[in-house]
């Protein structure tokens, strides 16, 4: 499978934990199928500790690493677009700087792509953890077939962003990531879907995703809801969803904004623990 070349794209910003970044990079390097390139986007100035981790890996794997430096923190959308410009290869795997890849992740994804050459983006399940991998036993399952992914996208994000590998040219043709600091990946999937791109998810955990940092709290509040409404209005205007679907999507998000965070966390945990796999 070495003839199928791909880049790994990882944005890093100042608040990241250096130890988490080191574990993330180790998991990307020590794969059963190694990447051909790792592009790190420094989204604004970093700490000395983060710079030290990046420099250590760049020195040890000089031909593997490419570093993109942004003068100021511009958000994930801008960082991803700048990184995409630099990626040498048309297939790009996403990775967050605090998550841990399953060591067969890239081999599984590339194997699937080689057998399904119509697919433009391939994702998979993630298992969330807080301190040690497996400590929460929460897996985010998603639909696996294109048609089910498209239906799921009418209401919720159909891909686990940190676990995707996608066709760079198709993503750029769809407009790349938007520069709003919310829903950056969801918006890209929507644009790729209406452009006719073909989606798939593997029914296996590909990435162990670290949770915390008040993830749910940061998604509450009126500014976030207003951006969600704006996004679903865009779906409505493109006839991706109809008016009843628009109302359902907005209403469900409005309810989530007023539920106390403690109850929301329990609901989120219960949904992940009980979600059923959908392969059809």
Spacing of C-alpha 188 from chain mean position:
11
* Predicted local confidence at residue 259, as pLDDT: 77
What span, in angstroms and rounded, lies between the C-alpha atoms of 192 and 114? 20
What span, in angstroms and rounded, lies between the C-alpha atoms of 117 and 111? 10
The mean of the pLDDT values for the chain is 91
Structural domains of the chain, ranges and CATH numbers in brackets: 6-213 (3.90.550.10)
Name, in order, each residue with C-beta under 8 angstroms of 63's C-beta and a sequence gap of 6 or more: none
Q: Could you give phi then psi for residue 46, rounded to 5 degrees?
A: -115, 175
Q: What is the pLDDT of residues 210-239, one digit of tens each?
A: 987 555 545 556 888 999 999 999 999 999
pLDDT band at 257 (very low <50, low <70, confident <90, very high): confident
User: Comparing C-alpha atoms, which of 96, 159, 155, 166 is closest to residue 129?
Assistant: 96
CA distances from 204 to 46, 139, 162 (A): 34, 10, 14
Q: What is the pLDDT of residues 143-186, one digit of tens each?
A: 999 999 999 999 999 999 999 999 999 999 999 999 998 999 99
Q: What is the pLDDT of residues 124-149, one digit of tens each?
A: 999 999 999 999 888 999 999 999 99
Q: Are 53 and 18 in contact (CB under 8 A)?
A: yes
User: Comparing C-alpha atoms, which of 83, 22, 88, 94 is closest to residue 51?
Assistant: 22
């Amino acid at each position: 499978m070495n003839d199928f070349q791909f880049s790994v794209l990882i944005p890093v910003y100042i608040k990241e934990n250096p130890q988490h970044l080191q574990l993330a990079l180790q998991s990307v390097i020590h794969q059963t199928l190694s990447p051909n390139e790792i592009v790190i986007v420094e989204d604004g100035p970093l700490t000395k500790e983060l710079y030290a981790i990046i420099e250590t890996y760049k020195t040890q794997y000089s031909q593997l690493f490419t570093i993109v430096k942004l003068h100021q923190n511009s958000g994930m959308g801008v960082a991803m677009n700048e990184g995409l410009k630099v990626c040498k290869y048309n297939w790009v795997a996403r990775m967050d700087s605090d998550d841990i890849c399953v060591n067969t992740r890239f081999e599984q994804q590339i194997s699937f792509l080689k057998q399904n050459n119509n697919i433009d983006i391939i994702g998979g399940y993630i298992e969330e953890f807080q301190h040690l991998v497996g400590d929460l036993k929460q897996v985010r399952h998603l639909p696996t077939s294109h048609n089910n992914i498209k239906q799921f996208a009418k209401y919720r994000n159909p891909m686990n962003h940190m676990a995707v590998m996608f066709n760079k040219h198709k993503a750029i043709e769809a407009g790349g990531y938007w520069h709003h600091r919310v829903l950056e990946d969801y918006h890209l999937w929507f644009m790729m879907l209406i452009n006719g791109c073909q989606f798939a998810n593997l029914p296996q955990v590909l990435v162990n995703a670290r949770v915390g940092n008040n993830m749910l709290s940061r998604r509450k509040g009126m500014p976030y809801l207003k951006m969600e409404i704006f996004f679903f209005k865009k779906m409505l205007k493109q006839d991706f969803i109809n008016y009843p679907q628009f109302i359902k999507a907005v209403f469900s998000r409005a309810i989530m904004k007023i539920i106390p965070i403690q109850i929301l966390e329990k609901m989120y945990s219960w949904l992940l623990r009980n979600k059923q796999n959908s392969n059809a």
